[in-house]
Amino acid sequence: MATVESAITPEVVEQHGLSPEEYERVLNALGREPNLVELGIFSVMWSEHCSYKSSRLHLKKLPTEAPWVICGPGENAGVIDIGDGQAAIFKMESHNHPSYIEPYQGAATGVGGILRDVFTMGARPVANANALRFGRPEHPKMQHLVKGVVSGIGGYGNCVGVPTVAGETNFHPAYDGNILVNAMTVGVADTDKIFYSAATGVGNPIVYVGSKTGRDGIHGATMASADFEEDADAKRPTVQVGDPFTEKLLIEACLELMATDAIVAIQDMGAAGLTSSSVEMATNGKAGIRLDMNKVPCREEGMTPYEMMLSESQERMLMVLKPGKEEMAAAIFEKWELDFAVIGEVTDTRHMVLEFDGEVVCDIPLGPLAADAPEYDRPYLSKDDYTAWAGIKPMQQRPDTSDVGGDVMKLLASPHLSSRRWIAEQYDSQVGADTLQTGGDAGVVRVHGTKKALAITTDCTPRYVHADPYEGGKQAIAEAYRNLCAVGARPLAVTNCLNFANPQRPEIMSQFVHALEGMGAACRELDFPIVSGNVSLYNESKATGGGSAILPTPAIGGVGLIDDYATMMTMPFKAEGEAIYLIRAEHWATPDPERSHLGKSLWLSEIHGRDEGRTPPTDLTVEKNAGKIVLQLIADGLVSAVHDVSDGGLAIALAEMAMAGGIGAEVEWHQDYTQAQWWFGEDQGRYVVTVPDTDALNAALAKGTEDDETASIGFRRIGRTGGNTLFGNSIDAMRAAHHSFFADWMEG
Amino acid sequence: MAFRAAVITFPGSNCDRDMAVAIERASGSAPLRVWHADAELPERLDFIALPGGFSYGDYLRSGAMAANSPVMRGVKEQAERGVPVLGVCNGFQVLTEAGLLPGALMRNASQNFICRTVALTVENSQSLFTGGYDQGQTIRIPVAHHDGNYFADEDTLDRLEGEGRVAFRYAENCNGSRRDIAGVLNAAGNVLGMMPHPERAVDTAHGGTDGLALFEGAMRTLADA
């Protein structure tokens, strides 16, 4: 064993983000002192980002199975069966810290990374989506961050030729010093051509393909696992640089090779690069690995094994090939002008052995690196203690409104509810020529060459999660479910991106644990399992003064299936004179005197400047049955437009349908509620639908009354479409208000 | 005889499949798929399409490197012999860089990428490619580009207008193009470059089918010839 570099001092250990206890664990695992290469490898593998050490215990409690789930969490992405021998493969991932430091490259490489997670498994990526949280628009850095992130997402996704079809964007001061950039990719593969990461077959060649390794991104995973200090800008060199052109070539080359039978296992090099990809492949294959570091294609002269193992250079993959297939595989990568190098082999040692200049520079047993990595049961506040800590109380005084039309205009012009067109138009949403819908409740893409279509949505309401992590977690899942039902898609599964602050604070850990419990309950009740995901902790920043934590943001990416896209539903009003109904639980026919129906509503915060009250509760039985009924109404052709009721309440849902369709409406207030409650309350489990033929609807409902599920859901007729005004505002005036925020902010 | 079209794929092309689907829909025959490094373009072609995308990652200048790709020698030869060549988006950029069409495509005036369905006016319905439209007709076709701002000097623009070589104009200029130009023809009328994507509007599922008439019109004209 060669002696490499200097002795390991406590300072060096600390710089690598390992606690003294964790270093003790390293010493025990090795039975000796590590060298710097080994310490670096332990450091990234045991980082929060790679080891999930604070979250693993709780993630295990999430429901991950259903008959249609082919592969749940643990691989590069989740896989579900969509019939006809085809599978949808998808995942969402965060790139928060890099995007704050260098928004264009941070966001771009976030898209690149999630694309690789999906095509690694054999899928052609067919759609991208994202979930973005920014700080206050007036924050001095925010315009720069929004512009950079949006053009970075577009710059990467547009170039690789994957349409961006769905997304959500929020603004809140809690993200001033720590924005969130979560990117999702959905791909389609044949179920008999899905590739996994388990390295097997002693002696099989390990092959490196893609871009060369440079010194960029070293320690990215460790950075993503610590609070932001004041020196965020100084960390710019740890942000990777993306090359979507190379990624496009890599997609085509990998898919071309995957069409042959040469690949045993494949894994992308994402966070922690060559280290985590090789360790995961060997661990999943219950094998060992030997790499010759002199063979790693490098961008620069004189790179050390330490740098090669920790580099996060983009657009690289690691594969295990069947013996004798090297030449054929090399020819494919040569055609696409990509590097191809055999850098090692699969062994049976259960050790990771690295050689450099003829000497062993690393020899680590794989067990402690991955499967036996530290796992913490961090203390967390009970629900009641959390509520007290967060200062959440029922609303005392309940304001009302006498100017619904004026409030609608103010809300439409607010950052929260303004049109996202300025963002959406910077993404190519149509490449592939299979995009069927964007800008509605969910993005929809046709499965190429079939009648099927996949619906995709991203959802989370962080202010709800903050006020009540359990209810907020439930709501995020329920809203994704609702958005899929609203376009006529059967909700199948979700991926998530769990963005939270420092888990070593019991109040933050309470958010995490209880949000997960709420999500789990919703997924179980709605038969909507979680098949992949990512955890991003330590999202807090001292950059803006004080240790300000983000709002807890468990972003959900939902995927549903439409069997025949001819039945797909959309949200715009379609014709004049159609009846408008509100679908909601029968037992919500009258207001609940215990509830304000306005807690945590956007109306309350935008119109009254009050961020108060409790998160609206989500009744999962109602969600399930309402979803079922909406799907049935769509299948039976009884409704012409569907939209879920969410941020901004019923009035905003109606305004969005009117603006999208260019048709107004006459609508009635239900006088058991106050005007504010009725129009702006954010009660869950509700949809607005338009009905061209009310007799047909009534006939269908009459048939269904014996069904308990149908009976539990009520229909209330609230008006009819027609004219060119809504609440006294013209469609044109509403559209102008709706577009005003981004237009004024970005182009004004 | 079956319609014999070719769609050329450069490294970084990403609308090649979409183009092939549209040509097959209009002609009934799947086009040949040609890889850029094939120095020999197949002979006896009825139609050549250069698709959209980011050939060579738009490095250097959009279309500049693809314009020097081996296959472009064959494209130029066949274009000179009168074989119809359609370049869409990045394909248009390649055609200007290759000197098959005048002018250049610069960064959008807004500096932002733009993806939007826009209204176009058919300025010349007499060409090989636009016979399926009426003169002055307004059609709706999606654009998706970062470098679609058409530029040529005033003399060239006057000549293009005078010779009826402006095929399409934006009804509302979305990228800063001189004289709202969205698509131009070569002098012989057998090469068309356009920024909007007709292949993204050939199916009712696309939300519009105004692009289909371009492909069908061209195929019909060629069949009658």
Residue found by looking up tokens 């693993």 in the block: A56
Could A433 and B206 be called an inter-chain contact, meaning their C-beta atoms sit closer than 8 Å? yes
Residue B31 distance to chain A (closest CA, Å): 17
B199: chain A residues, CB-CB within 8 Å:
433
A644 touches chain B (CB under 8 A): no
pTM: 0.96
C-alpha–C-alpha distance, residues A537 and A223, integer Å: 11
Are B120 and B141 a contacting pair, CB within 8 Å? yes
Kindly indicate the confidence band of residue A239, based on its pLDDT and cuts at 50, 70 and 90.
Answer: confident
C-alpha–C-alpha distance, residues A511 and A514, integer Å: 5
Counted across chains A and B, CB pairs separated by less than 8 A come out at 84
Are A467 and A390 a contacting pair, CB within 8 Å? yes
Kindly indicate the confidence band of residue A241, based on its pLDDT and cuts at 50, 70 and 90.
Answer: confident
C-alpha–C-alpha distance, residues A181 and A499, integer Å: 10
A446: chain B residues, CB-CB within 8 Å:
205
Residue B139 distance to chain A (closest CA, Å): 18
What residues 301-360 of chain A have any CB closer than 8 A to a CB of chain B? 335-337
C-alpha–C-alpha distance, residues B196 and B210, integer Å: 11
Are A343 and A273 a contacting pair, CB within 8 Å? no
A435: chain B residues, CB-CB within 8 Å:
206
Which string of DSSP letters, residue by residue, matches A503-517?
Answer: TTSHHHHHHHHHHHH
User: What is the pLDDT at residue A6?
Assistant: 55
Could A159 and B57 be called an inter-chain contact, meaning their C-beta atoms sit closer than 8 Å? yes
Q: Residue A433: which of B54, B112, B200 has the nearest Cβ?
A: B200
A115 touches chain B (CB under 8 A): no
What type of residue sits at position A736?
Answer: A
Residue B79 distance to chain A (closest CA, Å): 27
Q: How far is CA A555 from CA A149, A464, B44, in A?
A: 17, 12, 55
Residue B114 distance to chain A (closest CA, Å): 5
User: What is the pLDDT at residue A223?
Assistant: 56
Kindly indicate the confidence band of residue A224, based on its pLDDT and cuts at 50, 70 and 90.
Answer: low
Is pLDDT at A492 greater than 60 in this prediction? yes
What type of residue sits at position A446?
Answer: R
Q: Where are the alpha helices (DSSP H) in A636-693?
A: 649-661, 675-680
Active-site entry in A16, A58, A95, A466: A95
Is pLDDT at A588 greater than 90 in this prediction? no
Domains located in chain B, CATH noted = 5-224 (3.40.50.880)
B17: chain A residues, CB-CB within 8 Å:
432-433
Instruction: State which residues of chain B have pLDDT below 70.
Output: 1, 225
Residue A436 distance to chain B (closest CA, Å): 6
Could B57 and A244 be called an inter-chain contact, meaning their C-beta atoms sit closer than 8 Å? yes
Q: Residue B14: which of A431, A435, A436 has the nearest Cβ?
A: A431
C-alpha–C-alpha distance, residues A322 and A195, integer Å: 14
Residues written for chain B: 225
Q: Residue A431: which of B15, B22, B202 has the nearest Cβ?
A: B15
B203: chain A residues, CB-CB within 8 Å:
433
Could A430 and B142 be called an inter-chain contact, meaning their C-beta atoms sit closer than 8 Å? yes
**B115 assigned to active site:** no
Residue A95 distance to chain B (closest CA, Å): 22
Could A159 and B200 be called an inter-chain contact, meaning their C-beta atoms sit closer than 8 Å? no
Could B205 and A431 be called an inter-chain contact, meaning their C-beta atoms sit closer than 8 Å? no
Residue-wise pLDDT tens digits, A612-664? 999 999 999 999 999 999 999 999 999 999 999 999 999 999 999 999 999 99
- Bridge partners for B203 per DSSP: B208
Q: Which has the higher per-residue pLDDT, A706 or A373?
A: A373
C-alpha–C-alpha distance, residues A446 and A432, integer Å: 10
Token reading at A168 = 């959500």
C-alpha–C-alpha distance, residues A619 and A608, integer Å: 28
Least confident range from A72-76, A102-106, A324-328, A543-547: namely A543-547
pLDDT > 70 in chain A, percent: 95
Are A218 and A311 a contacting pair, CB within 8 Å? yes
- Bridge partners for A131 per DSSP: A168, A182
Average pLDDT over residues A484-511: 97
B146: chain A residues, CB-CB within 8 Å:
158
A426 touches chain B (CB under 8 A): yes
Question: Which of B112, B199, B210 is the best substitution to test chain A (most A C-beta atoms within 10 A)?
Answer: B112
B15: chain A residues, CB-CB within 8 Å:
161, 431, 433
Could A159 and B203 be called an inter-chain contact, meaning their C-beta atoms sit closer than 8 Å? no
Active-site entry in B36, B145, B146, B197: B197
User: What is the pLDDT at residue B204?
Assistant: 95
What residues 440-459 of chain A have any CB closer than 8 A to a CB of chain B? 446
Closest CA to B182 of B173, B169, B172, B171: B169
**B89 assigned to active site:** yes
A427: chain B residues, CB-CB within 8 Å:
113, 115
A748 touches chain B (CB under 8 A): no
Closest CA to B14 of A446, A124, A112, A443: A124
C-alpha–C-alpha distance, residues B30 and A459, integer Å: 41
What type of residue sits at position A625?
Answer: N
Torsion of CA A142, A144, A146, A148, to 10 degrees: -150
Could A430 and B144 be called an inter-chain contact, meaning their C-beta atoms sit closer than 8 Å? yes
B200: chain A residues, CB-CB within 8 Å:
430, 433
Is pLDDT at A221 greater than 60 in this prediction? no
User: What is the pLDDT at residue A546?
Assistant: 46
Average pLDDT over residues A353-361: 96
A151 touches chain B (CB under 8 A): yes
Q: Residue B56: which of A245, A336, A430 has the nearest Cβ?
A: A245
Closest CA to B135 of B145, B143, B123: B123
Residue A152 distance to chain B (closest CA, Å): 11
**B174 assigned to active site:** no
**DSSP-derived 3-state class of residue A457:** strand
A430: chain B residues, CB-CB within 8 Å:
115, 142, 144, 197, 200, 206
Are A562 and A634 a contacting pair, CB within 8 Å? no
> Dihedral sign, CA of A29, A30, A31, A33?
negative
Question: Whole-number mean pLDDT of chain A?
Answer: 93
Question: Which of A245, A423, A426, A746 is the best substitution to test chain B (most B C-beta atoms within 10 A)?
Answer: A245
Residue-wise pLDDT tens digits, A167-213? 999 999 999 999 999 999 999 999 999 999 999 999 999 999 999 99
Average pLDDT over residues A29-38: 94
A143 touches chain B (CB under 8 A): no
